[in-house]
Copies of this chain bind each other. A is one copy, B any other.
Amino acid sequence: MNSAEIITVGDELLIGQTVDTNSAWMGMQLSMRGIKVNRITSISDRREEIISALDEALGRAPLVLMTGGLGPTSDDITKETLAEYFGSRLVEDREVLAEITERITRRNLEMNENNRRQAMVPEICRVLANHAGTAPGMLFEKEGRIIVSMPGVPSEMKHIMQEHVLPLVSAMAGGRTIVHRNIMTYGTFEAKLAERLEGFERELHPAVKLAYLPAHGVIKLRLTGSGDDGDELHRIVEKQVRKLYTIIPDIIYGEDEVTLEETVGKLLLSNNLTISTAESCTGGKIASLLTSVPGSSAWFRGSVVAYDNSVKTGLLGVDPETISRHGAVSEETAREMAKGILRLVKTDFAIAVTGIAGPDGGTPDKPIGMVWIAVASAKGVIAEKHRFADDRMINISRSSYTALNLLRKQIISR
């Protein structure tokens, strides 16, 4: 079992209303476990399409993962078609029904016919519980081949994959060992990083491959080792990882899929420190990132989103004179915002950001993408000027992550 196919079902994929992100996620998960994806096929919600795509995929691979077409509405026909394909009838699954009933009643709603329909599953399948939604996953076996059908909602698909499918896949992959290590970096760009790693790449152990995976300013370096001797392979990959830490210590912030906000949260927690933010152009994004981390109430106290200058002066205590002399987007304003929130919320550290996100508001002196970031603590305030992009969403995102990275460095070097 070392190859697989993916079938995504839904008219919305074919007419381009939805981009199929499920396939890439599943492909990556499978490939990390040594399973090669031969082909990804997207088809419409039609019985004949589902049957022929399934026939073809099973002719090429022993594992077929399907998503989509499991909703409660009449255009979703994957379940009925699979029941037919495997010559099975739909029966009500008591556990699924109980879980749906619980989900519905907990929300003070009443069960209806469509909810009940979601508890019907082909008698022959193994039900894969979906704790992230109402449509369960289904696993079928046919002549030594495995077919899994999952909902198309990404969070539900991921839940079922992680809970049920990936453990099975790992067990089946057997034999050859594949070792992945992800080194997370922030604060440089791909071409620059590749330059710094030229020697590293030249001397890379032949059993190990290096990939650059950039996304939203973070560049994930993925080391993939493959070989027959698992222990030996782990040693080889570990040695390469340690080497990376000596070459680019300044930009590595963590490993595996850790985010910058999680890293910052761990640092704050382990050092018993607290944080607050004062945000203008990021509009609450930094606070939102920090509070996305479970348990953040232990180290995050609060924020002021000071979009309007009246909030900068009124709440954060920025001197109106500072704004009129240097502008709302200036080093001075950023520094006063940081000191203001530190005083107001009484935390050990404070982040402040003010900039021009765009699309309007740019001037020759202060173009779109110009941002001032300040980090304050009892020891004082430091401030950095950055110039990001022409795009509003990129500017908000880069400003936020760059601020978190600056905070991270300040905590470490404290």
Contact = CB atoms under 8 A, between A and B. Distances in A.
A258 interface: no
Contacts of A153: 214-215
A31 B14 contact: yes
Contacts of A25: 16
Which of A44, A311, A387 has the most chain B CB atoms inside 10 A of its CB?
A311
B307 A311 contact: no
Nearest to A21: B19
Contacts of A279: 284
Contact of A106 (B118, B286, B387, B394): B387
Given A38-B44, A42-B23, A211-B11, A291 B315 contact: no
A71 B190 contact: yes
Given A292-B283, A387-B106, A28 B15 contact: yes
A260 to B, nearest CB: 16
Interface stretch (A83-91, A245-253, A294-302): A294-302
Contacts of A300: 283, 307-308
Interface stretch (A162-170, A191-199, A372-380, A404-412): A191-199
Contacts of A315: 302, 304, 315, 344-345
Interface of A is mostly: mixed
Interface string A262-306: 000000000000000101001111111011101111001111111
A79 interface: no
Contact of A27 (B13, B224, B388): B13
A307 B194 CA distance: 41
Interface in A24-73: 24-29, 31, 36-44, 49, 53, 56, 71-73
B12 A16 contact: no
B305 A132 contact: no
B302 A303 contact: no
Interface stretch (A109-117, A137-145, A229-237, A318-326): A109-117
A94 interface: no
8 closest Cβ contacts across the A-B interface? A283-B291, A16-B28, A284-B287, A284-B284, A16-B27, A302-B311, A114-B191, A303-B305
28 contacts: A11-B211, A13-B23, A14-B39, A17-B182, A17-B213, A19-B24, A39-B43, A40-B40, A40-B42, A41-B42, A72-B194, A73-B190, A75-B209, A108-B387, A118-B191, A134-B191, A283-B287, A283-B296, A284-B291, A285-B288, A291-B307, A294-B360, A300-B308, A302-B304, A302-B307, A303-B305, A310-B345, A315-B315
